[in-house]
Chains A and B, each alone.
Chain A
Amino acid sequence: MPIEVDGKVLETDEEGYLANINDWVPGVAEVMAKEDDLELTDEHWDIINFLRDYYEEYQIAPAVRVLTKAVGKKLGKEKGNSKYLYGLFPYGPGKQACRYAGLPKPTGCV
């Protein structure tokens, strides 16, 4: 279902991931979060930005296990655990945060 962000209609796939990663603007995350009744905080943005940087560098969305470890290293040990990440993204940090970040679904996620 397409989503409307800043007056522009953006295509998504059947699971709600952006069809074209280059369409992403911060408003995409805001619109998607609103549909999920989630208010984005700085802590959410830390993860979203982290995922975008990871994709920029490696051209993949990391698996949750890899994300957890990398977040712990970059943002601090207290954030590098699934309890913290699931607290922010209850539908799963891999799936939900990647969707907000405009990335494809993480490789290996079903």
Chain B
Amino acid sequence: MATKKFMYVNRRAPYGTIYAWEALEVVLIGAAFEQDVSLAFVDDGVFQLMKGQDTSGIDMKNFSPTYSALGDYEVTKIYVEKESLEERGLTLDDLQHLVWEDEDDDWAEKDSIRLVSRAELAEVFAGQDVMFNF
């Protein structure tokens, strides 16, 4: 089976709807099929990656630690849209530091998050075979 490029686009805030968690589960399941997987976080989706999430007041599971497992699943391309961050008064420092370990480079830790402009992200989207919107 030829490898296809899969892109999962996350556009919504992490809680309040089930989209963010469902998207993450689909990504983790899909990663088992050894495709070329990317994630993008745009609009309110950038909130999904924020540090220091606390869900104790809303009785929902805080699944933000799970994003750190993506590297183990060989998901190493996580695009964050620059304009979406700026529109919300956020910078990369407000987001979790996500890394993956390169087995072929003595397990060196490498950054997974790629900060891209809206125009750059559009080009990345254009190069995909399959897109999932959440």
Contact = CB atoms under 8 A, between A and B. Distances in A.
Interface of A: 57-60, 62-63, 65-66, 69-70, 73, 107-108
Contacts of A65: 32
Contacts of A60: 28, 66, 69
Given A62-B72, A70-B72, A108 B28 contact: yes
Interface residues of B, number: 15
Given A66-B72, A69-B72, A59 B66 contact: yes
B28 A59 contact: no
Contact of A63 (B28, B62, B63): B28
Contacts of A69: 72
Interface of B: 25, 28-29, 31-32, 61-63, 65-66, 68-69, 72-73, 107
B56 to A, nearest CB: 14
Contacts of A63: 28, 31-32, 73
B92 to A, nearest CB: 22
Given A62-B72, A63-B73, A66-B73, A107 B28 contact: yes
Contacts of A108: 28-29, 32
B122 to A, nearest CB: 31
A18 to B, nearest CB: 16
A60 B69 CA distance: 9
26 contacts: A57-B65, A57-B68, A58-B68, A58-B69, A59-B61, A59-B62, A59-B63, A59-B66, A60-B28, A60-B66, A60-B69, A62-B69, A62-B72, A63-B28, A63-B31, A63-B32, A63-B73, A65-B32, A69-B72, A70-B72, A73-B107, A107-B25, A107-B28, A107-B29, A108-B28, A108-B32
Nearest to A108: B29
B66 A58 contact: yes
Nearest to B67: A58
A73 to B, nearest CB: 7
B68 to A, nearest CB: 6
A110 B61 CA distance: 23
